[in-house]
Structure 1
């Protein structure tokens, strides 16, 4: 069989995966805290035709996917006016917990439930810089604000004075290699060995970042870039399909040599 046919098949499969990545990026263009993915290709092993002469004579056998990477560049901030909506201005991730499992996220659309716990809409507890759930007692504080250091400052219901709520500093994790995190779903990430040995959980100051209150970080997907990549993927898919069609026509001619 012709090598070109198998090369075309590998190319079509890879560009189909590229379209899958692009489609997922576009579908999450308005997802809070979403980070886009990119895909890279590499060539497969080449077959040696001859070793004579100074230069090797080789024919490639198609392409393969080398990596699908998450791009952790910051997205633009959108003002909401809601005090519990937080955005990280810089590096790092919020840390949330559910049933003893910790996850990282850039999605800061948090709420305070009836017991005073700071949580995600899915019911995950937001952790402080010591790795403990944050709780804001409603019977003690009439209101609260979150400053740029992530400290929650409450107004006492008794006399109206302000104080920092104990254990109320929003924790920020700074893994050594964010690209090594595994997407878990729900805008959450899981730690892996590739991401680093630990979360490096601390304050926003430790992570050299700041926290913005009343704002949310939007997706970093650029529709212009995604549509351009979609055109490239479509043309690449069509070109590889034409390679298969041409190879099939050549094989048909070989079959028809003997009539």
Structure 2
């Protein structure tokens, strides 16, 4: 029997089914590759699983469609598919489970966002939060040495306090420090503010006194005992908005060791304005000031003017913003146990939380902002990504803040190895913010994010993929048998 033209057409049809089966085999093999990679990384920190998706390829038109007419209905097109192709491999950025490590430098993001690291060429993005400090003092990604990015602290020109300015560009985070920010060492800081709180007993008679003390520091970190003595001086009345009010005047005397505090303030020369005076000067006189309390409220009589027997005390003169303050200057000297080379110290004594209720004397110094030299001992990271250094002098200061990046289309990121990602034309530019801002999650320390691969789901997909592969191989063997039968017709 000759091989007719019609037989050649059948062979062509058989070849079509063979190639469809081959495309199925090829793409199911790719899907198995993706599943295998997922399972291989089930214990990889910060790994994000992937998923292979298929689509059909173009179809062969055997017959075109025809529209309906007045006499007969329309006919649908007749198409035969030519197999399958790989549509995409999507990355899933679902949250992985958190594993407690109890290592302070291990961090994880709960929610959206990526840590930003720099490999000296470009910024890369990762969910892996294994961080350490290298020999150069930089915070780095443990496995790669890429430097962690964020905002370094600066010192406020107004208050002198440490602050984070997130309007500046991000950069390498480190503990090296400089003249305006803390680092491995926290330079000594002279006391500039002392806060007092609690209560002066309103029921005490004229002449009653109370003494409290707190350690303050000069510019070289030497500590002094800064004492404040309170004495109930007088009871006065004044008129405010047509209403007669009563108040108690308390004098206070600030002193350092070696000074002679004034036992009886000179009530004839009260100057209610903040006064600058050297403590430890030749005559040994301490600084004396006055505070007036409204007896009906137990609070400092802010806004009131007390006038009695020529005694004038205006509480407003002690107001600095919303705080009641008095200013004291002293020059450190060896007599005070200090160092003569230290810079002069100016202390604002703050009474904004002092009250005068009919309760026992409990007034004490709450806080002061001076300290001696401190060496960095450890650090901790809070949920906003702020890195706080803990120093040997007991103080804590910000070392910086970790920046996070978010993307409009994180699935468009390109894998760069070592669980790092780089931007692509379809990921969008990174939207950089602090944790819990701009749609990013919070940062947890002492934990790491595990892989989001679910083993049961992967095994199920593997079974389905295996059966799909077997089915496509059966297409090939069946088509081969049919071709063999066709060839046998020629015998």
User: TM exceeds 0.5?
Assistant: yes
2:87 to 48, 54, 66: 66
1:162 to 396, 418, 421: 396
Counterpart Cα distance in 2 of 1:138 and 1:162: 12
Counterpart Cα distance in 1 of 2:478 and 2:54: 23
For the pair 1:229 / 2:461, whether they are aligned, the reply is yes
1:125 to 133, 138, 147: 147
CA offset digits 1:35-56 (Å, max 9, x no partner): 0001111111111222365111
CA contact (8 A) 1:151 1:169 kept: yes
2:62 to 46, 49, 56: 49
User: Higher strand fraction: Structure 1 or Structure 2?
Assistant: 2
SS at structure 1 position matched to 2:18: helix
What is the aligned length?
255
Shift of the alpha carbon at 1:173?
Answer: 0.4
User: Could you tell which deviates more after superposition, 4-13 or 109-118?
Assistant: 109-118
Gaps of 5+ in 2: 1-11, 67-73, 152-168, 176-182, 186-374
CA offset digits 1:17-47 (Å, max 9, x no partner): 0000000000000000000001111111111
Shift of the alpha carbon at 1:156?
Answer: 2.5
Shift of the alpha carbon at 1:160?
Answer: 1.5
User: Could you tell which deviates more after superposition, 246-255 or 46-55?
Assistant: 46-55
CA offset digits 1:77-134 (Å, max 9, x no partner): 0000001100001100000001231100000011111332110121110001442111
Q: Which residue of 2 aligns with 1:40?
A: 53
Counterpart Cα distance in 1 of 2:452 and 2:35: 13
| TM alignment of 1:83-98, pairs within 5 A | 83-98=104-119
User: Could you tell which deviates more after superposition, 6-15 or 48-57?
Assistant: 48-57
SS at structure 2 position matched to 1:128: strand
Q: Which residue of 1 aligns with 2:385?
A: 150
SS at structure 1 position matched to 2:60: strand
**TM-score, normalised with respect to structure 2:** 0.51
CA contact (8 A) 1:87 1:217 kept: yes
Q: Which residue of 2 aligns with 1:257?
A: 489
Gaps of 5+ in 1: none
CA offset digits 1:119-156 (Å, max 9, x no partner): 01211100014421111243442211101110011123
SS at structure 1 position matched to 2:479: helix
Q: Which residue of 2 aligns with 1:176?
A: 408
User: Higher helix fraction: Structure 1 or Structure 2?
Assistant: 1
SS at structure 2 position matched to 1:107: coil
CA offset digits 1:166-191 (Å, max 9, x no partner): xx101100111101000011000001
CA contact (8 A) 1:150 1:169 kept: yes
Q: Which residue of 1 aligns with 2:425?
A: 193
Shift of the alpha carbon at 1:193?
Answer: 1.3
SS at structure 1 position matched to 2:61: strand
Counterpart Cα distance in 2 of 1:57 and 1:175: 44
| TM alignment of 1:235-250, pairs within 5 A | 235-250=467-482
Counterpart Cα distance in 2 of 1:235 and 1:97: 44
Larger Rg: 2
Relative contact order higher in (CA < 8 Å, ≥ 6 apart):
1
